[in-house]
């Protein structure tokens, strides 16, 4: 869920309209007009999980960036923009053309050398700079180089989590920094631009450190509330279900991973009959664990509302 929240928020910074409760639905439950946005969020989740796994055998390197970028762009709106390859043409940020652009990144011929320099900076353990300041600088530098034709913002924010994971500041990708950045999007862009226009790196670093501190504190509170909720449900509510307690525990474990479900999801993923799925979901509704959100009699969607609300 932490990865899904990061994926949803990071994608929303780029203009997608997917909310977290949509992001955890299966594609058949997504309106066709919303599936492009949904796909971008799914790609972010896949890219994050793949990159985290790849760090066991690969350094935080250009090879990993390109591999991750390929997954980000897979079957998404940027699928024709050289996925997994550094750009071979000029790009720009803002404006309808390079003439009225807000910012023009370095010429494409310089990208390989600039990215090699960034890779060395990220991995040079002799540089005596605190990790949070170093990744703040690295994120700024990545966004300024803008090495790909599309997906630079999402990959640059993903880089933050990968760096913190690589240097064991995080043991799991649980810092959803894009939540803060999306809420303060204008300040986020303004502080990056100040470095480019006024050579003021300090202001950007201050903004970044505040973002990390607030997000970390919020993450700790979320974990506390999850543990409290788990205790309330597993040590109190479902104990009244008697012989159905083992089945209820299986469903609860599933809901922590996918807190928006249908009856068919329960049949397939919990391996029960349709009648049993309907029955246990009805019990969960009575206990206030699940809430039906469509109002329909068929094709109903149920939300693990007390849990999902912790991530909104």
| Start-end of CATH 1.10.10.10 domains in the chain | 236-311
**2-220: CATH, from 3.50.50.60, 1.10.760.10, 1.10.3290.10, 1.25.40.340:** 1.10.3290.10
Per-residue pLDDT of the chain (312 residues; tens, 9 = 90+): 899 999 999 999 998 888 898 898 888 888 899 999 999 999 999 999 999 999 999 999 999 999 999 999 998 888 889 999 999 999 999 888 999 999 999 999 999 999 999 999 999 989 999 999 999 999 999 999 999 999 999 999 999 999 999 999 999 888 999 999 999 999 999 999 999 999 999 999 999 999 999 999 999 999 999 999 999 999 899 988 889 999 999 999 999 988 999 999 899 988 999 999 999 999 999 999 999 988 888 889 999 999 999 998
Question: How big is the CA angle at 4 (ends 152 and 246), to the nearest 5 degrees?
Answer: 160
pLDDT of residue 79: 84
Both tokens of 226, joined, read: 């999850």
| Start-end of CATH 1.10.3290.10 domains in the chain | 2-220
298 φ, ψ to 5°? -125, 160
pLDDT of residue 294: 84
Q: Which residues pair with 291 in a beta bridge?
A: 303
Reduce the secondary structure of the chain to three states and give it as a string: CHHHHHHHHHHHHCCCCCCHHHHCCCHHHCCHHHHHHHHHHHHHHHHHHHHHHHCCCCCCCHHHHHHHHHHHHCCCCCCCCCCCCCCCCCCCECCCCHHHCCECCCCHHHHHHHHHHHHHHHHCCCCCCCHHHHHHHHHHHHHHHCCCCCCHHHHHHHHHHHHHHHCCCCCCCCCCCHHHHHHCHHHHHHHHHHHHHHCCHHHHHHHHHHHHHHHHHHHHHHHHHHHHHHHHHHCCHHHHHHHHHHHHHHHHHHHHHCCEECHHHHHHHHCCCHHHHHHHHHHHHHCCCCEECCCCCCCCCEECHHHHHHHC
pTM to 2 decimals?
0.90
pLDDT of residue 95: 86
Q: Do 292 and 282 meet the contact criterion of CB atoms below 8 Å apart?
A: no
CA distances from 50 to 6, 152, 158 (A): 15, 18, 12
pLDDT of residue 10: 95
User: 236-311: which CATH topology?
Assistant: Arc Repressor Mutant, subunit A (1.10.10)
Q: Which residues contact 106 (CB under 8 A, 6 or more apart)?
A: 114, 144, 145, 146
pLDDT of residue 29: 84
Of 1, 12, 15, which Cα lies nearest the Cα of 179?
A: 12
């Amino acid at each position: 869920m932490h990865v899904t929240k990061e994926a949803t928020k990071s994608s929303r910074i780029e203009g997608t309209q997917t909310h977290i409760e949509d992001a955890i639905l299966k594609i058949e439950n997504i309106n066709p007009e919303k599936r492009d946005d949904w796909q971008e969020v799914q790609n972010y989740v896949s890219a994050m999980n793949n990159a985290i796994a790849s760090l066991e055998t690969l350094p935080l390197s250009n090879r990993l960036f390109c591999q991750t970028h390929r997954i980000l762009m897979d079957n998404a709106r940027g699928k024709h923009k050289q996925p997994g390859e550094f750009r071979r043409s000029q790009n720009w940020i803002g404006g309808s053309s390079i003439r009225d652009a807000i910012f023009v990144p370095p010429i494409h011929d310089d990208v390989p050398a600039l990215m090699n320099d960034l890779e060395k900076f990220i991995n040079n353990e002799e540089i005596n700079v605190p990790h949070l300041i170093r990744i703040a600088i690295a994120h700024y530098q990545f966004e300024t180089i803008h090495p790909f034709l599309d997906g630079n913002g999402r990959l640059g924010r993903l880089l933050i989590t990968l760096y913190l994971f690589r240097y064991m500041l995080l043991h799991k990708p649980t810092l959803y920094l894009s939540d803060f950045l999306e809420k303060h999007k204008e300040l986020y862009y303004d502080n990056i631009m100040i470095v480019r226009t006024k050579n003021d790196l300090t202001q950007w670093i201050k903004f970044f450190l505040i973002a990390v501190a607030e997000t970390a504190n919020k993450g700790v509170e979320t974990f506390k509330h999850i543990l409290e909720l788990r205790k309330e449900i597993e040590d109190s509510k479902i104990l009244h279900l008697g012989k159905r307690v083992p089945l209820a525990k299986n469903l609860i474990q599933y809901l922590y991973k996918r807190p928006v479900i249908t009856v068919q999801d329960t049949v397939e993923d919990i391996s029960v009959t349709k009648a049993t799925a309907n029955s246990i979901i009805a019990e969960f509704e009575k206990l206030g664990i699940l809430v039906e959100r469509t109002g329909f009699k068929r094709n109903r969607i149920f939300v693990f509302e007390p849990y999902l609300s912790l991530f909104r």
